[in-house]
Structure 1
Amino acid sequence: MRSITRSYYQHTHAAILVYAVDDIQSYRDLIEWENDLREYETTKTSVFRFLVGNKTDLDMDTRIDTQIQGDIEAFCREHNVNQCFMTSAKTGDGIEDVFKHIANRLAPTTHRRWSTANTDTVDLGLQTKTYITDSSSCRC
């Protein structure tokens, strides 16, 4: 069993729950992740939940998502999932859509103005940071 502390969930506004479309156990583990999220979720804020089925680049023969579609829909209803996505981390398909959707969903909950009008980028209003690139000073 994994050990997750409250600090991982502190100030969380969105949770991305990911399962592999070829692995039934990764789907079943979503319930544990959701239980952790609910346990540490504060009563003051509601966390947006997004479900992502990953590895859509695999052959349909190896995918279980079509077989458990009803279970996936029930999970989304029961756990108040705001949006479902299908992605491939290998090819990059759908990844950008996930993060754009989350950014746009969170934008109204902040005081900053995030705009995606007529652009392929989402301005998060963050300041640029300078990082040390000299490997001799790396402390990791």
Structure 2
Amino acid sequence: MNDPASLQYLSKWDEDICLHAPKAVKFLIANKCDLEKLIPAESMDDFVAAHNCEDLFIVSAKTGSGIEDALQRIGEKLLDIFSTPMFLESQYNETVEINKFVIPSKSCCS
């Protein structure tokens, strides 16, 4: 919350997430709420919306403020998401193609 460049770094990380884990459930956890706020709340809300985050949590690792609530709400949200019939069905619709790899024989008598 006190480093405006953080959202730029997070945007790059989000590109990687979208590339390598497109179905990932994302939350934005803004730390250091005990320090001076240099990132406006509107910027964080815009980031959450633009990057399809499920929720925004404002916490302080130093004081513990907001940590318990964030963990509770994240757990509840994940339980809701992963318990839906649509999610459970999607787990059975995906297939993995396995190609047989043949190792050529290196026999000295062939």
Which bin holds the TM-score, normalised by the shorter protein?
0.5 to 0.7
Q: Structure 1 CA distance, aligned partners of 2:12 and 2:43?
A: 15
**1:9-52 CA distance string (max 9 Å, x none):** xxxxxxxxxxxx1111222211011111101015xxx3221111
Name which of 37, 46, 59 aligns with 2:17: 37
Greater fraction strand: 1
Q: Structure 2 CA distance, aligned partners of 1:57 and 1:75?
A: 21
Query: Which residue in 2 is equivalent to 1:137?
Result: none
Unmatched 5+ residue regions in structure 2? 85-110
Structure ID, larger Rg: 2
**1:110-133 CA distance string (max 9 Å, x none):** 59xxxxxxxxxxxxxxxxxxxxxx
Per-residue deviation at 1:100? 1.1
1:22 aligns with 2:2: yes
Query: Which residue in 2 is equivalent to 1:49?
Result: 26
**Hey, which bits of structure 1, 4+ residues long, moved more than 6 A?**
none
Greater fraction helix: 2
Query: Which residue in 1 is equivalent to 2:56?
Result: 84
Identical positions, percent: 31
Structure number with the bigger relative contact order (C-alpha 8 A, sep ≥ 6) is: 2
SS of the equivalent of 1:52 reads: strand
- Matches for 1:101-120 after TM superposition, within 5 Å: 101-108=73-80, 109-110=82-83
Query: Which residue in 1 is equivalent to 2:104?
Result: none
Query: Which residue in 2 is equivalent to 1:65?
Result: 39
Query: Which residue in 1 is equivalent to 2:46?
Result: 74
Unmatched 5+ residue regions in structure 1? 1-20, 112-140
Number of residue pairs aligned between Structure 1 and Structure 2 = 83
TM-score (structure 2 length as normaliser): 0.66
TM-score (structure 1 length as normaliser): 0.53
Q: Structure 2 CA distance, aligned partners of 1:78 and 1:107?
A: 24
